[in-house]
Structure 1
Amino acid sequence: MNVGMIILVVAVLAVLGYVLGRRRALSLAAARGRKLHSLPGYYGQTVALFAAVPALLVLVAWLLVQPMLIETRVSGMIPDSAIPDGGARSLVMADVRRIAEGLDAVLAQGGLEESQLSDMRADFTNVRTRLAEVGVALGGEVPTEVFEAAKTYRQDTKTGNTALTVLMLALSIGLAFWSYRRISPDMRARNVSESFVRVLLIAASTVAILTTIGIVASLVFETYSFFKMYSAREFFFSTVWNPQFRGGSELGILPLLWGTFYISLVALIVAVPLGLMIAIYLAEYAGPTARSFVKPAIEVLAGIPTIVYGLFALVTLGPFLRDWLAEPLGLGTSSSSVLTAGIVMGIMIIPFVSSLSDDIINAVPQALRDGAYALGATQSETIKQVVLPAALPGIVGAILLAASRAIGETMIVVLGAGASAKLSLNPFEAMTTVTVKIVSQLTGDTEFASPETLVAFALGLTLFVITLGLNVLALYIVRKYREQYE
């Protein structure tokens, strides 16, 4: 039984437990002539929670632990002699998983019997043909150890899934029956239900924290492995980015940081003034009819896929800037440039600035505006000297959100700015960003333990630290101005 079916069965058991628990509470109260301590629904909720929550927690833990245990066991079955020269064990394990999935597909289609598979060896023709039919093409001869490892991987996964099914069903049915038998008119079912819900809410609130900790930990550990292979001084202070997966790489981050900040700066120069002016118009000048039309039209920009923006930069804006500005001024001949990506990215993040700033400006108390009008200020003076300063902390937050969106963008940069890592002030030259190189370094069948691959984690950690520093600075500015107006 697959995971989806297990979850569905547990959900059905929970619903059934709710109905039966509620019915039992009502029947006991009627039979004994006593009032229930809690509403009947709480008794049903208690049975449903005991039927579902522990089983789902076991499912999550099992899905995290089982793959690691199977990978460790199967990886130990593959000797070093079965790993091709210049290859990596992780690549062989990928082949093992691929063959195991292919064998499952072949067996499901009836191409082989389970008994045939148990006696099969690596020098097979029928199985190779069957695997090719389900999309698993084996290029060369498969070592016996690899094929045996694939069979073991498949068998262990199957056994683990069977054990998981039995354990979850037994746990769900057992705890549901135990909770059902505990129901009585005096049972504080509401307290039990609310305690469960409180624990679930606390667990849900910790997901973001644990996710952040996991991301940072993975970045730190892999970055540490990278700096054991490559000099940190060269990484942070070199002005050359030239990865060579066969050795002799130069992995300086400065060109990537420059391209990231340069493109993001151009995007903010485009988005912030336009976004703020749109927000001021919508909040202070536009009537209900104009606002109901203009705001949704602006927010449509946020729903356009970034690949569409990238194609617009590549096909339309890039050639236009090259033909009408770059070439006549002698500043470049490429349609991919910082200016192309920056302008398109700025258009993309306009809704982030305008919508958030509009909501923030509308949240400024009307009493501040009325006080300014009473002192003789005009509408424009009120906006400039009262409304915008009062809304400044929120506007700074909106700009930071837009900046974070610009820094993390990849597709527009790939299509609009190119992939050239260089230090230049010319906005008509092609450049690239940190995020683009993170993707490029982790793309393809490369050895994960090489510095050229691990550098992606060092790039990610550096970008994370820089963004964190910008957020801390923005928080300081927000608090300073907030104290001024409170």
Structure 2
Amino acid sequence: MPVFWLILIVLAVAAAGFVFGRGRALGKAGGNRRRLHSLPAYYGWNVALKVLVPAFGVLAGWLLVQPLAVNQLVTADLPATAVSEDTTIGLVMSDVRRVADGLDAVVAQGIMTSEEAATLRVEFTDVRARLAEAGVALGSDVTAQILRAAQEYRSLNRIGGFAMTAVVLLAALGGLALGLSNSTPEYRARNVVEEGIRALLIAAAMLAIATTLGIVLSLIFNTIEFFRIYPASDFFGSLTWSPSFGGGSELGIWPLLWGTLYISVIALLVAVPVGLFSAVYLSEYAGARTRAIVKPLLEVLAGIPTIVYGLFALLTVGPLLMRVFGDDGLGWMQAGTAVMTAGLVMGVMLIPFVSSLSDDIINAVPQAMRDGSYGLGATKSETIRQVVLPAALPGIVGAILLAASRAIGETMIVVLGAGAAARLSLNPFDAMTTVTAKIVSQLTGDADFASPEALVAFALGMTLFVITLGLNVFALWIVRRYREQYE
């Protein structure tokens, strides 16, 4: 059964349990609510939670474990001859999953029955042709070993799907029975429901923490694996970035790091003054009507997809800069893709991050501080410079940090606006690239995941993580230092 329909069935059982649990509690009390320990709705929610929590818990755990278990079983049954010198077990399993998905498509379109797909033999059938009928294209011929592994993979997934459906429904029905049996007047339903909701909130918080730890640990472990096969001294000491999946790569991070920081600095030089000045105007000078029009227009910039900004950089800003700084102008710029192109467009994208957050922070400064400044004879501009902005400085630093983190992690604007050249140059009109752009390029394609050319993406990601953490620590130091003056 599809997971979507299984979720709908569990929700329907929970809804029925809510109605029956509430009605059963009232029935046991003779219709008199005063005889119940809790309000009737709590008895309904008690049944619903006892249905939802175990059923969805089993479903989530099953969906996580089943792919790993199936892959392990299929991999163990693969003969040693299935993995040649030119491939890896990961690539073989990728072919197995692709063929299995193709068999499912063939069955779904009625080209063959499920039994025929399970007994299909490559010796007597052109598998590629049968799969092509269903619109499934394969890059190479299907061997008998791959076909048998795909059939086993598909069979195990079907068995796992049936078992998952049965176990989830049993958990839901068991929770329904338990909840209904508890629907008695003396049962403390409110206490149980409130404790259950509290446990769910704690679980949600722990899930966020576990997700963060999982991301960090995956970066750490894969970075360690990368440094086992590629020297850390070459990674941090080389000034050349020249990956080659055929071997002999030079994977120095400094050209990428320089491009990332260079583009981010230009973007912040555009976004911070414009965003901060617009925030000061909107919060201190603009009238209510002007503010109601201008602020939403500024915030529209935050909703534009980054690919649109990238196209804007490629088709508009780049050619515009070429007219001024290119061969027809000052002669400083060789092509439209350059650090300046990406930096300017990224700065425009970051304006609403700085403006909107700074505006909210400035508005949060107590009016009493402004009134006190006016009472001492200060003008409006003096009050803003010497009272409002210093008081709002911790929040403004946070807004600038958010914009800096956004700039460091941007990809599409860099790919389309800055080019792909990894170089060390001070000329802002040269093409360069960033760490995030190279992470994408190194993990794209069918490269061996165990090669240093692919694992380097995790080392690059870990480097960005450390840089962002350093920015957070520095911002926290700034916030604490200046906050002491106003608290």
Q: What's the TM-score, normalizing by structure 2?
A: 0.98
Equivalent in the alignment of 1:297: 297
Contact 1:279 1:355 in 2 (8 A): yes
Counting only pairs closer than 5 Å after superposition, residues 28-107 of structure 1 correspond to structure 2 as 28-30=28-30, 35-107=35-107
Provide the secondary structure at the position in 2 that maps to 1:447. Answer: coil
Provide the secondary structure at the position in 2 that maps to 1:448. Answer: coil
Task: Give me the whole-angstrom Cα distance separating, in 2, the residues matched to 1:480 and 1:324.
Answer: 44
Equivalent in the alignment of 2:20: 20
Contact 1:352 1:402 in 2 (8 A): yes
Equivalent in the alignment of 1:228: 228
The Cα of 1:447 is off from its aligned counterpart by: 0.6
Contact 2:365 2:391 in 1 (8 A): yes
Counting only pairs closer than 5 Å after superposition, residues 378-397 of structure 1 correspond to structure 2 as 378-397=379-398
Contact 1:352 1:401 in 2 (8 A): yes
Change (3 A) 1:32 1:267: closer
The Cα of 1:127 is off from its aligned counterpart by: 4.3
Equivalent in the alignment of 2:278: 278
After superposition, the C-alpha distances for 1:104-160 in whole angstroms (9 at most, x for unaligned) are 222222222233334321224364333112222234432212111101100000000
Change (3 A) 1:124 1:392: farther
Identity %: 62
Task: Give me the whole-angstrom Cα distance separating, in 2, the residues matched to 1:247 and 1:446.
Answer: 12
Equivalent in the alignment of 1:467: 468
Task: Give me the whole-angstrom Cα distance separating, in 2, the residues matched to 1:115 and 1:342.
Answer: 58
Equivalent in the alignment of 2:167: 167
Provide the secondary structure at the position in 1 that maps to 2:30. Answer: helix
Contact 1:34 1:185 in 2 (8 A): no
Equivalent in the alignment of 2:217: 217
Unpaired runs of 5+ residues, structure 1, are none
Which residue type is aligned with residue 354 of structure 2?
A: V
Equivalent in the alignment of 1:479: 480
Worse overlay, 308-317 or 243-252: 308-317
Unpaired runs of 5+ residues, structure 2, are none
Task: Give me the whole-angstrom Cα distance separating, in 1, the residues matched to 2:291 and 2:34.
Answer: 60
Worse overlay, 201-210 or 250-259: 201-210
Task: Give me the whole-angstrom Cα distance separating, in 1, the residues matched to 2:49 and 2:118.
Answer: 42
- Count how many residue pairs are aligned between Structure 1 and Structure 2: 486
Equivalent in the alignment of 1:348: 349
The Cα of 1:424 is off from its aligned counterpart by: 0.6
Equivalent in the alignment of 1:196: 196
Contact 2:82 2:145 in 1 (8 A): yes
The Cα of 1:84 is off from its aligned counterpart by: 4.2
Which residue type is aligned with residue 221 of structure 1?
A: F
The Cα of 1:89 is off from its aligned counterpart by: 1.4
Contact 2:128 2:141 in 1 (8 A): no
Task: Give me the whole-angstrom Cα distance separating, in 1, the residues matched to 2:129 and 2:241.
Answer: 45
The Cα of 1:183 is off from its aligned counterpart by: 1.4
Equivalent in the alignment of 1:422: 423
Contact 1:77 1:145 in 2 (8 A): no
After superposition, the C-alpha distances for 1:272-291 in whole angstroms (9 at most, x for unaligned) are 00000000000000001000
Equivalent in the alignment of 1:454: 455
Counting only pairs closer than 5 Å after superposition, residues 335-374 of structure 1 correspond to structure 2 as 335-374=336-375
Contact 1:326 1:428 in 2 (8 A): no
Task: Give me the whole-angstrom Cα distance separating, in 2, the residues matched to 1:140 and 1:472.
Answer: 52
Worse overlay, 129-138 or 71-80: 129-138
Task: Give me the whole-angstrom Cα distance separating, in 2, the residues matched to 1:97 and 1:356.
Answer: 46
After superposition, the C-alpha distances for 1:23-49 in whole angstroms (9 at most, x for unaligned) are 011111116896100000000000000
After superposition, the C-alpha distances for 1:155-208 in whole angstroms (9 at most, x for unaligned) are 000000100000010110012111101211011000110111001000111222
Task: Give me the whole-angstrom Cα distance separating, in 2, the residues matched to 1:137 and 1:161.
Answer: 26
The Cα of 1:431 is off from its aligned counterpart by: 0.5
Change (3 A) 1:130 1:282: same
Task: Give me the whole-angstrom Cα distance separating, in 1, the residues matched to 2:95 and 2:477.
Answer: 52
Task: Give me the whole-angstrom Cα distance separating, in 2, the residues matched to 1:48 and 1:351.
Answer: 43
Contact 2:109 2:134 in 1 (8 A): no
Q: What's the TM-score, normalizing by structure 1?
A: 0.98
Counting only pairs closer than 5 Å after superposition, residues 130-149 of structure 1 correspond to structure 2 as 130-149=130-149
Equivalent in the alignment of 2:314: 314
After superposition, the C-alpha distances for 1:394-440 in whole angstroms (9 at most, x for unaligned) are 00000000011111100100111001011110000000000000000
| Coordinate RMSD, CA, aligned | 1.3
Residues 1:377 and 2:378 aligned together: yes
Which residue type is aligned with residue 293 of structure 2?
A: F
Which residue type is aligned with residue 275 of structure 2?
A: G
Contact 2:33 2:40 in 1 (8 A): no
